[in-house]
Amino acid sequence: MDAAQDIVRRLRLVVGDAAQVALHEPEFQGREKEYVSDCVQSGWVSSVGKYVDRFESMLAEYTGAKRAVAVVNGTAALHISLKLCDVQPGDEVLCPALSFVATANAISYCQAIPHFVDSERYTLGLDPRKLDGYLRKIVTLRNGVAWNRLSRRRIRAVIPMHTLGHPVDLDPLVEVCERFKIALVEDAAESLGTYYKQRHTGTIGRVGALSFNGNKIITTGGGGAILTNDDALADRAKHLTTTAKRAHRWEYVHDEVGFNYRMPNLNAALGCAQLERLPEMRARKRALALQFASAFAGCNDAKFFIEPQFGESNYWLNALLVPGGKVVRDHVLATSHESGLMTRPVWDLLPDLPMYQGHPQMDLTVARSLQKEVINIPSSARLAASAAERQAA
């Protein structure tokens, strides 16, 4: 048995012998049909309705944020979050090279410049200490604004992405932001239900962005949200995402360029039912992670990635670190797919994509190493229940 076959054997100890096992599937076992049907019968299916208000309230309560503003997807949430932090055309925004493309795309929507930074192995996310040393070499502060001495552009914000649901080490990053007068915008698209030192991700920066895509821990079909503890920012987020329309009983007055980004009531109805079950699904996903950790204990060919000690992860997508480079990684991917297990590599690095080649970047040694080692494995919450049932039997 070669290494790839042993990895598949260990995966099967947890996920069972089903012919096909998906990477991550949504689960609808609560009041989804009831709420969606109620929404349809009410006729309020677009961007106004009781479920949108309820969903925002539930999100704020669950995360501990003062306000939540529901939008059409996580990328829209990131886009507006950057605008709330006054990111202007030509500004630079720091973001991890190892991230989903939406992180950089949202920067581009502002006509700003993604500036790519390295990750750390302990979190899979942005490395705040390495970033601090890098910025000390390239930044000049003038009138409370960070300027890149090399490009002569302003560095307006930084976007840490909580990779695969694991929290970035935020306290030292907050110190970096304060030192260099840079806004902190959390990309918490993958980390609903994740905590950093008992604080929910997305609530520590000035603003945070969530995603409720079909493959996330809970889904609204398509959807996202902006989290903030600043009422003025939340009010402005609502205004911008509602085509910047001023309230009036009949007149159409739009006072700036806005965006048609509000979440429809229909999607919010689904989200309310999903949020009711979030604690249970999060618990099962964490239980599944423990089962994988046990299955890979003592394995020399793959290491199961464990949450950092300072946080609690939602384990959105479970991950293996497979040493040996891209050839070994791809052999594991091919072997697992041939056996019916859906696995996938982590994303290509953003500065390697054609539209972001040539953009500013620091040394990316760790991110390049991780990109060749990380394999995502089946992570649906229902797999934990199935594994528990097999163990009981």
Please write down the HEC assignment for all residues of 310-329: CEECCCCCEEEECCCCHHHH
The CA distance from 216 to 278, in Å, is 11
Least Cα distance to 203 among 211, 194, 190 occurs for: 194
Residue intervals of the chain classified under CATH 3.40.640.10 are 32-276
What letters, b where the CB count within 10 A reaches 16 and e where it falls short, cover 126-162?
bbbebbeebbeebbeeeeeebbbeeeebbbbbbbbbb
Tell me the three state secondary structure of residue 344.
strand
pLDDT tens for 294-322 read 999 999 999 999 999 999 999 999 999 99
Structure token digits, residue 145: 């604004």
Residue 43 Rama label (left phi>0; alpha psi -120 to 50; beta): left
The CA distance from 226 to 204, in Å, is 12
**Residues contacting 205, CB < 8 A, separation 6+:** 160, 170, 183, 184, 185, 186
Least Cα distance to 210 among 69, 45, 308 occurs for: 69
Residue 219 and residue 380 in contact, taking contact as beta carbons nearer than 8 Å = no
Residue intervals of the chain classified under CATH 3.90.1150.10 are 3-27+278-392
CATH number of this structure's domain 32-276: 3.40.640.10
**Residues contacting 186, CB < 8 A, separation 6+:** 159, 160, 162, 170, 201, 202, 203, 204, 205, 207, 208, 209, 227
Least Cα distance to 210 among 52, 71, 357 occurs for: 71
Tell me the three state secondary structure of residue 196.
strand
In order, the DSSP letters of 85-141 are: TT--TT-EEEEESSS-HHHHHHHHHTT-EEEEE-B-TTTSSB-HHHHHHHHHHHEEE
Residue 82 and residue 110 in contact, taking contact as beta carbons nearer than 8 Å = yes
Q: Which residue type does 339 have?
A: S
The CA distance from 287 to 301, in Å, is 23
Q: Sign of torsion, CA 238 145 98 203?
A: negative
The CA distance from 31 to 272, in Å, is 9
Digits of tens for pLDDT over the chain (393 positions)? 699 999 999 999 999 999 999 999 999 999 999 999 999 998 878 777 899 999 999 999 999 999 999 999 999 999 999 999 999 999 999 999 999 999 999 999 999 999 999 999 999 999 999 999 999 999 999 999 999 999 999 999 999 999 999 999 999 999 999 999 999 999 999 999 999 999 999 999 999 999 999 999 999 999 999 999 999 999 999 999 999 999 888 889 899 999 999 999 999 999 999 999 999 999 999 999 999 999 999 999 999 999 999 999 999 999 999 999 999 999 999 999 999 999 999 999 999 999 999 999 999 999 999 999 999 999 999 999 766 665 655
Pairing of strands 199-200, 195-196: antiparallel
pLDDT tens for 237-276 read 999 999 999 988 888 989 999 999 999 999 999 999 999 9
What are the helix (H) ranges across 43-98? 50-63, 74-84
The predicted model scores a pTM of 0.95
The CA distance from 312 to 370, in Å, is 21
Q: What are the angstrom distances between the C-alpha of 290 and each of 72, 306, 307, 331? A: 33, 9, 11, 25
CATH number of this structure's domain 3-27+278-392: 3.90.1150.10
Q: Which residue type does 151 have?
A: S
Task: Report residue 267: phi and psi, to 5°.
Answer: -65, -40
Strands (E), the chain: 67-71, 92-96, 113-117, 139-142, 145-148, 155-158, 183-187, 195-196, 199-200, 207-211, 224-228, 303-304, 311-312, 318-321, 344-345, 374-377
